[in-house]
Amino acid sequence: MQRQAAMLLLATALLAGCDDSGKSSAGGQYATAQPDAAASPVVEQAVAGDKLALGSFGQDGIDSRTKSGESYTYDHDMTLSMASAFIKGRFERARDRCQNDPALKCRVVSASFRVLGEPDAPLPVANLSVSLPHDAVALFEDSLLTALPNESVGDVMIQSRSTTAQNVTNQVRDMEGRLSQLTNYRDRMTELSKRPKSSTDDLIKIEGEISRTQSEIEQLEGQRRDLADRIAKENLTISFQAQSTTSDALQPVAEVWQSSVRLLAQSAAAALALVIGILPWLPIFALGFYLVRLLWRRARRKPA
């Protein structure tokens, strides 16, 4: 009898536990499917869930090197010196090769060419910034030193070269984590918007959150593409400058000689302007001199 009573109590407890579990599960599903509109919990619950999801990345890294733990960006600065007559030709050759050689996979970031000094004695200065794959940087640098027509080998020299490496691993991870977080949040908002029993006010809030989140996702994806390009390639900036040759050292003398006629005319004009400016004062100076001389003679004639 006692055994039968114990079995009856055990069966009753199991049935009660299953009933409570079913109620909890049903209550949880209802709370998710139809939140209380008076407390406006739809967006707030999703935001709370979004905060809990922070740090769950779930996406591959920007570059395969992030899987090994580190990602870097590289910037190279290079200064070339040559005779001023070859600056424009070497600059245009490097720019055109970057644009037209598909094997290099090169992209021109910026290019500038300007002429300083007087038109009779121009001094060209050029700057070129390109983006190259890692294995193409040395090849492109070697091509910069190739002699131009009528140029001797060795006339172009590397004055300076520097390389800067920046570790962007944390930036990559933060960006991937933020994108994963925003994507999960958008997906949850989309699921909420499809539920038939949501109020109009909740639907308006949900659509606003989806639009705002999608805008942030697109902005971050653009930043991720830029960062991925910086990691996959290296930036090379070249400055083209004139060498300090004998002709360049005598360039100021040549400029003065070429402008000597102008200098002579300017000096003559200054002297003529001085004479013209003094002419009105000559009668006054003559009268003053005459009065001073007259007074001096009278003073000498007085007896002591």
Per-residue pLDDT of 100-137, as tens digits, reads 999 999 999 999 999 886 666 678 899 999 999 999 99
Q: What is the pLDDT of residue 77?
A: 95
Tokens of 28: 């949880």
Residues of the chain with pLDDT under 50: 1-67
Q: What angle do CA 22, 26, 27 make, to 5 degrees?
A: 115
Is 281 a member of any domain?
A: no
Is 203 a member of any domain?
A: yes
Is 164 a member of any domain?
A: yes
Query: Which residues constitute the domain of residue 46?
Result: 33-248+258-275
Is 5 a member of any domain?
A: no
Q: How far apart are CA 97 and CA 104, in angstroms?
A: 9
Q: What is the pLDDT of residue 4?
A: 41
Is 283 a member of any domain?
A: no
- Pairing of β 72-82 and β 123-133: unpaired
The burial of 42, by beta-carbon neighbours within 10 Å (0-12 exposed, 13-18 middle, 19 or more buried), is given as: buried
Q: What is the pLDDT of residue 260?
A: 75
Structural domains of the chain, count: 1
Q: What is the pLDDT of residue 203?
A: 85
Nearest Cα residue to 115 out of 102, 124, 106: 124
Nearest Cα residue to 178 out of 286, 291, 72, 51: 51
Is 215 a member of any domain?
A: yes
Is 39 a member of any domain?
A: yes
Q: What is the pLDDT of residue 251?
A: 58
Is 295 a member of any domain?
A: no
